[in-house]
Homo-oligomer: A and B are copies of this chain.
C-alpha cells in the first residue's frame, strides 16, 4: 500500500484522556479514532491487525473442530426473556424498539440466539458434539468506558458455543478450546497465563480466563514461578500443610496490652511478630455469627469464607454487633472460651502455630503461649485466606508470584444453565428428551489488539510482532523528489510484494524527520530507508524491535528480510 492512498493520521501531541500506552499510541499512530465514548473507528492499519488476529483465531478454531457462522446483532427481546437475562442483565444491555414497537437487544453475547437456533435445528444426539463460533461486533453499555479498546461499548468478539450430550464430551471440547486459545495468544506473541477463575453468578463449573500480563490490568493473577499454574487471586488455594514448630509448649498467660489494637501493635508490644499472632474476625454468614481465624500475617478471603461455609451472603460483623455479642472491642477478640457464643473456624495455617498470641475477649488483654489444639476448639480448619507472594504454588511446583492481567479470553463450562432456562433439548439414544450440556468460549478480538499494543511498545511508538503487524516492511524514500530514490523505493516495493511481503511505501513528500517519526510510531517490524546511496543500490535496514541498523545492497536484501522477519 502506498501511504498517500491510505489514511494514517499520526499525531505529534499526546492525546488528552488517554491514560495508558496502548490507548495513547493507537491514537497517535492513527490506528483508531473515537466516534463516541467507548465507540471507535478502526482505521486502515488497525483493520489489518484485526484481520490477522481474526485469521489466527479462525485457523485455530477450525483445528479445534469448530464451524463458523454469523449471528445477528439484533436479538428479539423474547429470547432474553426466556433466559431471564432481559431483567438481570441490567443497563449494560442496549435495547431498542423497531418501527412496530417490538423490543430488541443489541447482542452483548449470543447464548440465547445460539441455544434457540440449535434447539430448532439439532434434534438428535447424533449431531453432537457441535461447536459453533462467530467473530462479530458486540454491544455493551459500560458504565465507564475507558482505556481505548480495552473497555469499549462496541467491540469485536469471537464467541463460541459447544453442545454436548455428556459432561465428558464437554470436558474434551473444553480442553481442545483451551489448547486453541493457548495457540492463538502464543501466535499473537502475548505474554499471558490461563488462570482459574470464579464461575460467579452464572452457575456452571470450570472456567478459566486468559490473562495478558500487564501492570494496567484490573485483575491480580497468582502464578507459579516454576510450573504453568495460574489463578485469579480470589481463586488461588492457599497451602493446607505447614511445618509445626518444634518449640516446647509453654503455659497460657494472659497479659495486659493497653491501647494495643492491631496485630502489628500487639506483636510489637509483646516483642513477637505478626506471624505468631492469631487474627480473629467475626462474620455474619447468612443469619449466623461466626469467628474466622487466620494467621496474623494473612488476609481473610471473603469468597473462600462464603464458599467454605456454603453461605449465600457473608459480611464482616459491625463493631456494635460484636460489642453487643462479646462485650469486647474488636482489638481484643480471640477464640478462647468462645464456643458457647459462636462457632469458630480457622485457616489451616492457624493449626500449625505454637505459643501464639490472641485476644482475650477483654478490652486491653491478650493471651500469650496459645496452643490452638490445647487452648480452644475449632469447628473446622479450612482454606480461608488469600495466597501470598512466596507461598508454595497450589500445584506443589515452585512458589507463587503476583501479576496484573488483562482478560483477553474466557472459557466456561455452562452446563445446562441456558438449555434448561430456555427449554432447549434433544432426543437421546433412547428417544428421551434431554437438555443440552453447553460450553461457551470468548475472545476479545479488539481487546487483544490493544493488549498487544500494551505489551509491545517503546518510547518511540508501537513495536508490532511480525505475525500480526499491519504490514511487514516500511519502505521510506528519504526524498521522493530524487528520481533514483523514488525509482529504487518503487522497485523494492514491487519486489517485496511479489515475494508475498506486505509493504507500506511512504511516498509522501514529507520531511525525512516526519517520515522516520511516523515510521517509529506505526512500528512495522522492518524499515527500509532509501537515501543518498540509492544510486549505488544500497539501502539502510532498521529492525524496529532491536533498533539494529545496517546497510545492504539490493541483491542481499531478500535473504536478509527472510532472516529478520523469521527471528523478529
Contacts and interface: CB of A to CB of B under 8 A. Distances in A.
Interface in A98-114: 98-99, 102, 104, 106, 113
Nearest to A5: B65
Contact of A9 (B1, B70, B92, B122): B122
A94 B139 CA distance: 15
A73 B42 contact: no
Contact of A67 (B44, B69, B91, B104): B44
A164 B48 CA distance: 25
Interface in A1-57: 1, 4-7, 9, 30, 33, 35-36, 39-44, 46-48, 50
Given A99-B143, A113-B41, A47 B68 contact: yes
A153 B44 contact: no
Interface in A142-176: 143, 153-154
Copies in the complex: 2
Contacts of A40: 72
A336 interface: no
Nearest to A35: B72
Contact of A7 (B1, B106, B132, B143): B132
A217 interface: no
B69 A47 contact: yes
Given A67-B1, A98-B141, A74 B9 contact: no
Contacts of A143: 99
Contacts of A313: none
Contact of A50 (B43, B70, B118): B70
Which among A39, A75, A102, A132 has the highest number of chain B CB atoms within 10 Å? Answer: A39
B1 A33 contact: no
Contacts of A72: 35-36, 39-41, 137, 154
Given A35-B113, A72-B40, A99-B141, A6 B104 contact: no
A247 interface: no
A70 B41 contact: yes
B99 A130 contact: no
B94 A69 contact: no
Nearest to A113: B35
A122 B104 CA distance: 37
A103 to B, nearest CB: 10
Contacts of A91: 99
A44 B65 contact: no
A117 interface: yes
Contacts of A35: 71-72, 74-76, 113, 116-117
A508 B130 CA distance: 14
Given A41-B69, A69-B42, A137-B137, A154 B5 contact: no
Given A99-B143, A113-B41, A117-B41, A130 B7 contact: yes
A68 B45 CA distance: 9
Nearest to A510: B126
A253 interface: no
A96 interface: yes
A116 B39 CA distance: 14
A41 B137 CA distance: 14
A36 B69 contact: no
Q: Could you say which of A1, A40, A67 has the most chain B C-beta atoms within 10 Å of its C-beta?
A: A67
Given A33-B120, A41-B113, A121-B9, A73 B73 contact: yes
Interface in A244-297: none
A399 interface: no
A74 B154 contact: yes
Contacts of A42: 69-71
Contacts of A7: 67, 69, 118, 121-122, 127, 130, 132
Contacts of A70: 41-42, 46-47, 50
A388 interface: no
6 nearest CB pairs, A to B: A6-B67, A9-B121, A96-B96, A42-B70, A91-B99, A44-B67
17 contacts: A4-B127, A5-B65, A5-B67, A6-B67, A7-B67, A30-B121, A35-B71, A35-B76, A41-B70, A41-B71, A41-B117, A44-B68, A46-B69, A50-B70, A94-B96, A96-B96, A126-B508
Interface of A: 1, 4-7, 9, 30, 33, 35-36, 39-44, 46-48, 50, 62, 65, 67-76, 91-92, 94-96, 98-99, 102, 104, 106, 113, 116-118, 120-122, 126-127, 130-132, 137, 139, 141, 143, 153-154, 508-509
